[in-house]
Amino acid sequence: MKRLISLCLLAAVLCLNTRAQQAETLFPYPQAPDSCSTLESRCNYIIQHFWDNFDITRPLPEQGKFETAFRDYVTFFRYANRNIVFASIRDFMFKARSNTNNLVRIGQTAEQALYSPYAEYWSDEVYLQFAKSMAETSTLKKDIRNYYKQQIKRIEHNQEGSIITDLEINLSDGEKTRLSELQAKGFLILFTDNSSESSIARLRLSTDININSLISSGQLAVIQVYLGRPDSDWAAAQPQNWTNAYSDQAAKQIDLRMLPCCYLLDGERKILNKNVDIEQLKQAIN
């Protein structure tokens, strides 16, 4: 089965590599030699030579052609050696620093391809390589550097496997507390706003039989954190077996890529899953 999956992935990469030779692409992509016989070796070669036929120091073209090329570049990351991916990014970003306008656009494109809610490939450690390069480039405006510095802080302090940032929250009864003061065998934290999507998420979670069973048995505590300050009648309409709270600092301290946004934690508040949608969350809990 593993061999079949690898062959399918290799076929997909070869298909993308062949398409790159057509006129639709911004520039000719590299062709891995026959000596690269494995999926990883082929992707390693392509990543190392991807930008050989493109001068990143010249003004980038319009109409999304660069963004398409960048997403094709990122497609190979997940099958390549981690160190080679990082080395390629460092070399690419170093060359791009000679053109500030290009660098700004590259940062935006990297965010869309690797970090945004619509990214095809989410990877904290890969995106951080781009974000750190942006934050450390002195020729960029201060507000741009600070934007990436804040992103880096949120991501690094809220990675899967780490303890979630100890956010202060305002409980619906007016009391203040911190996440570290809450006790449970497991936590589901739902970050919401006043959108219809948040309302639907609340309804789907509050009516889920498995989740309610876990709450009743003391295995799970659901913490809803509303971003900002809700209306005075908000608390009364919320599920009464949840801990309902609000915070105007959550978006600044927690890595939230979508709303509503779910985090699943163990009893020590270690992040097991983050930035997952409702269906993914249900599967993880079940």
**What single string gives the DSSP state of each residue in 173-238?**
TS-EEEGGG---SEEEEEEE-SSHHHHHHHHHHHT-HHHHHHHHTTS-EEEEEEES---TTTGGGS
Q: What is the CATH classification number for the domain harbouring 193?
A: 3.40.30.10
Residue type, 284: A
Do 194 and 100 lie in one domain? The reply is: no
Do 151 and 234 lie in one domain? The reply is: no
The whole-model pTM stands at 0.81
Quote the pLDDT of residue 107: 97
Domain span including residue 246: 168-285
Do 175 and 148 lie in one domain? The reply is: no
Residue 61 belongs to some domain of the structure = yes
pLDDT higher than 60, residue 129:
yes
Residue type, 263: Y
Condensed to tens digits (0 to 9), the pLDDT of residues 180-234 reads 999 999 999 999 999 999 999 999 999 999 999 999 999 999 999 999 999 888 9
Residue 81 belongs to some domain of the structure = yes
Number of domains in the chain: 2
Tokens describing residue 247: 């915070």
Last residue of a domain, one of 156, 185, 203: 156
Comparing 48-52, 69-73, 256-260, which segment has the lowest mean pLDDT? 256-260
Do 148 and 174 lie in one domain? The reply is: no
Do 192 and 148 lie in one domain? The reply is: no
Do 141 and 195 lie in one domain? The reply is: no
pLDDT higher than 90, residue 173:
no
Within 8 A by CB and 6+ apart from 112, the residues are 67, 118, 119
Do 15 and 64 lie in one domain? The reply is: yes
Residue 163 belongs to some domain of the structure = no
Residue 269 belongs to some domain of the structure = yes
pLDDT band at 20 (very low <50, low <70, confident <90, very high): very low
Do 146 and 177 lie in one domain? The reply is: no
pLDDT band at 22 (very low <50, low <70, confident <90, very high): very low
Residue 241 belongs to some domain of the structure = yes
Q: Is 109 within 8 Å of 56 (Cβ atoms)?
A: no
Q: Is 112 within 8 Å of 119 (Cβ atoms)?
A: yes
Residue type, 201: A
Do 140 and 182 lie in one domain? The reply is: no
Residue 190 belongs to some domain of the structure = yes
Last residue of a domain, one of 124, 156, 188: 156
- The span from the CA of 233 to the CA of 89, in Å, is 50
Q: Is 33 exposed, middle or buried (0-12, 13-18, 19+ CB in 10 A)?
A: exposed
- The span from the CA of 220 to the CA of 225, in Å, is 16
Last residue of a domain, one of 156, 183, 215: 156
Instruction: Tell me the average pLDDT across 26-52.
Output: 94
Q: Which residue has the tokens 């990543």?
A: 47
Residue 161 belongs to some domain of the structure = no
- The span from the CA of 169 to the CA of 226, in Å, is 9
Quote the pLDDT of residue 121: 84
Residue 138 belongs to some domain of the structure = yes
Do 151 and 194 lie in one domain? The reply is: no
Do 150 and 20 lie in one domain? The reply is: yes
Do 138 and 189 lie in one domain? The reply is: no
